[in-house]
Amino acid sequence: MTTQNTPAVRLGGVTKDFGRVHAVRGIDLEIEPGEMVAFLGPNGAGKTTTIDMILGLSRPTTGDVEVLGMQPRQAIARGLVAAVMQTGGLLKDLTVRETVQYTASLFADTKPVDEVLESAGITGIADRRVAKCSGGEQQRLRFAMALLSDPALLLLDEPTTGMDVEGRRSFWSAIREDAQQGRSVLFATHYLEEADQYADRIILISNGLVVADGTGSEIKALATGRVVRATLRDADTDTLAAIGGVDTVEVRGEQIYVHAKDSDAVARYLLNETGARDLEIVARGLEDAFLSLTGRTDTDAETGNSQTDDPTTNHETEGALR
């Protein structure tokens, strides 16, 4: 792994057009060595297009992309960049160990096979055929393959898809341990709680632009207001909606949820003018910030992040890094 003090990733004034479609409209950002960065955005935001440019799979229309102080393809050719994608790159008839050994044979210099198997937590299934591995185990195998070249930058696309809760927790523990040793990690996920819990920094992209960049707490603070929750039968939603600073009022059975900039005014009304009980005031979360900053609806958010966000066909990214 490189010890360079230069940024792991630097994008300056980057745009990307596909004919009349402006997928990326001007992105400036730097990712430092050892940072764990979550890359979030709705369908069509420009995430995949941006990651493709970082991986050297496409060139920007304007602007500059640097990876570890060099052109992306140069960094990849030196084994300094690896990616863990959702699908592809596995031969189902090989065992887990054979897969890692075969991948190692494609590099001039790699970490020991047993070491990467242990780092990925799959030593116990080393002799299992890939076809017999669960989706989560296959993701761990891809992680092991990515670690072989000891990359300075690791890109993860929905890395915990198919994993159970315990598997996700142990996977992120391994990733965090890697990052503490100086490896930079950039990951896209539709699990917003993963971004909130594990990322040092969250970059939120919408319509080809960075709309927020900061820690989870800083991003959540951008979603102004709080949520007042209470138990109240037959709530007068019109009166609640008329209170100054109220954004929305939701009724779910006997539960009411009032999103408001002035939560104290809502609480006073509920406590003094109604029979509300079990009242609770909570800060708005990352999901609220995501919806607010990207202008999405709750229905849109249920589908999470898209795997594609430009009019071109998805690239077999893993194969391009071999």
Write out pLDDT tens, residues 51-87. Answer: 999 999 999 999 999 999 999 999 999 989 999 887 7
How far is 299 from 192, CA to CA, in rounded Å?
15
* % of the chain beyond a pLDDT of 90: 57
CB-based contact 230:256 (threshold 8 Å): yes
For residue 112, the tally of other CB atoms under 10 A from its CB is 10
Instruction: Look at the pTM and tell me if it is higher than 0.85.
Output: no
Q: What is the mean pLDDT of residues 122-134?
A: 95
Which three-class secondary structure state does DSSP give residue 153? strand
| Strand ranges inside 77-200, DSSP E | 81-84, 153-157, 184-188
Q: Is 4 in contact with 67 (CB distance < 8 Å)?
A: no
Q: Are 187 and 41 in contact (CB under 8 A)?
A: no
Picking from 8, 7, 17, the residue whose alpha carbon sits closest to that of residue 62 is: 17
Domain boundaries, the chain: 9-220+303-320, 225-283
Q: What is the pLDDT of residues 37-58, one digit of tens each?
A: 999 988 888 988 999 999 999 9
pLDDT at residue 63 in the model = 97
Q: For domain 9-220+303-320, which architecture applies?
A: 3-Layer(aba) Sandwich (3.40)
Q: Indicate the fold that domain 225-283 takes in CATH.
A: Alpha-Beta Plaits (3.30.70)
Residue 104, number of CB atoms within 10 A of its CB: 17
Q: Are strands 81-84 and 153-157 parallel, antiparallel or unpaired?
A: parallel
Token pair 């909606």 is found at: 241
Give per-residue pLDDT as tens, 180-219: 888 999 998 878 888 999 999 999 999 999 999 999 888 8
Examine the pLDDT at 311 and tell me if it is beyond 50: no
